Amino acid sequence: MNRQGRRKHRGFGPFRAWLAIAVMCPISGFAQSKATDTKPLGIGRVATVDEIAKLDIDVRPDGRGLPDGKGTVAEGAKVYAAKCASCHGKNGEGATFDRLVATDSGKNFDFATNPKLPKAVGNYWPYATTLYDYTYRAMPFQQPGTLTPDETYSLVAYILALNKIVPDDATMDRKALPAVKMPARDRFVTDNRTGGKVVK
């Protein structure tokens, strides 16, 4: 930080801020207050549309955030061989990094009881959109964030096909991907631990 900047504002900044807090929240606990109709303190600046677009790369399960572009399984096989196979194995079986392909989840999603059951995209990942989000943001490991949307769609299509979730002639794009239903999707449940006497 800019300690200089901090000193510069020391004369009035904190005082004004505290005054504002005191006026807005007469009782303790401004951090607990949910009210959002209070006046801003005027610190920071409004973000530009471009600034947001540059960083806003996340993709949600409903497809929000997916860019234009598309990719096929066949194209994905080529990108995979060139950029992914060295870490994840020739056919997604895993090597120095995670296994990507597995279809067996036992009789009843047996991951808690069978230590030998490997987790991978096909048998454990609940959302196909996650595969796009993660691959685009963080892969390949040695050149993170360098894949184009088309390359990413292709890779996603290829990995889904390896896991027998989409056919070998599938094309992925912003409409097709959120429609893919993952086999493990309905297995995930919200946290029911609340403390108290019962160990869950």
Closer residue to other proteins, CB minimum distance, 62 or 104: 62
- Report the alpha-carbon distance of residue 4 to residue 13 in Å, rounded: 14
- The interface with other proteins within residues 39-58 (CB under 8 A) comprises 40-41, 43-47, 51-52, 55-58
17 binds other proteins per the rule CB under 8 A: yes
- Chain residues 117-146 in contact with other proteins, contact rule CB under 8 A: 117, 119, 121, 124-127, 129-130, 133-134, 137-138, 141, 144-145
Stretch that binds other proteins, among 66-74, 113-121, 154-162, 166-174 (CB under 8 A): 113-121
Does position 104 bind other proteins by CB under 8 A? Answer: no
Instruction: Tell me how far, at minimum, the Cβ of 42 lies from other proteins, in Å.
Output: 8
How many CA within 13 A on the CB side of residue 186?
3
Determine the residue type at 99.
Answer: R
Interaction of residue 6 with other proteins, rule CB under 8 A: yes
Min dist. Cβ of residue 96 to other proteins (A): 9
For residues 15 and 169, which CB has a smaller minimum distance to other proteins in the complex? 15
- 61 in helix, strand or coil? coil
In angstroms, give the least distance from the CB of 1 to other proteins.
Answer: 4
Tell which one of 27, 28, 50, 197 touches other proteins (CB under 8 A).
197
* 2 touches other proteins by CB under 8 A: yes
Phi-psi region of 59 (alpha: psi -120 to 50; beta: other; left: phi over 0): beta
CA pair distance 19, 136, nearest whole angstrom: 45
Measured distance CA(115)–CA(173) in Å, rounded? 35
Residues between 52 and 91 with contacts to other proteins, criterion CB under 8 A: 52, 55-62
Say how many C-beta atoms besides its own lie within 10 A of residue 116's C-beta: 6
**Phi, psi (deg, nearest 5) at residue 173:** -150, -170
Rounded to 5°, angle at Cα 6 from 4 and 8: 70
CA–CA gap between residue 69 and residue 41 (Å, rounded): 42
Q: How far apart are CB 169 and other proteins at their closest, in Å?
A: 26
